[in-house]
Amino acid sequence: MKKPSKTGVDHGAGGREEPVGAGLTELPDPEVSERPTRRTFTAKYKLAILEAADKCKPGSGEIGALLRREGLYSSHLTVWRRLRSEGVLTGLQKKRRGPKPRRRDPVALENQDLRRDMARLQERLDQAERIIEIQKKVSEILGIPLSRPENDENA
């Protein structure tokens, strides 16, 4: 690596005088964030990049220069072109990450509610039958005759 001269001017291989760091407009932040952040691109930006890439001549290296200048990968162009050709405008918007929420079937929801109601009613029926059995035993102990209904299903 070549050291710059004392004047702060780099005399590169071509002999041109170019100030050291002339290409840098702003120094990068030396602090490294604790968590990396995912880059997001707006639909407007994606469409502008696709238009610029479409105007580039194939084989001339202009697309590569565009990608380097914007800090993009060729896979970005591939995906964005596919989304544009499908006409998926929402595909150019930000997408929520993670699993998609499942749609609940209304019949399954109703079935679940009915099963819950049936279980609750079955508990109440069991409780009522226990109470009736206790009443029968108490009436036998006290000698009180119980009148049976005429169409008793249990008898």
> Are both 90 and 111 inside the same structural domain?
no
- What is the arithmetic mean of pLDDT over 147-154? 64
Work out the pLDDT band at 123, boundaries 50, 70, 90: very high
- Strands 9-11 and 17-19, bridge-based pairing: antiparallel
pLDDT at 118: 97
Tell me whether residue 50 is in a domain: yes
Tell me whether residue 114 is in a domain: yes
Q: What is the pLDDT of residues 45-97, one digit of tens each?
A: 888 899 999 998 888 889 999 999 999 999 999 988 888 887 775 555 666 77
Q: Which of 38-47, 100-109, 123-132, 136-145 has the highest mean pLDDT?
A: 123-132
Domain housing 119: 105-144
Beta bridge partners of 19: 9
CB distance 94 to 43 below 8 Å: no
Count of structural domains, the chain: 2
CA 116 → CA 110, 119, 121, distances in Å? 10, 5, 9
Distance, CA of 94 to chain centre? 10
Q: What is the pTM of this model?
A: 0.39
> Are both 84 and 42 inside the same structural domain?
yes
Work out the pLDDT band at 119, boundaries 50, 70, 90: very high
Tell me whether residue 17 is in a domain: no
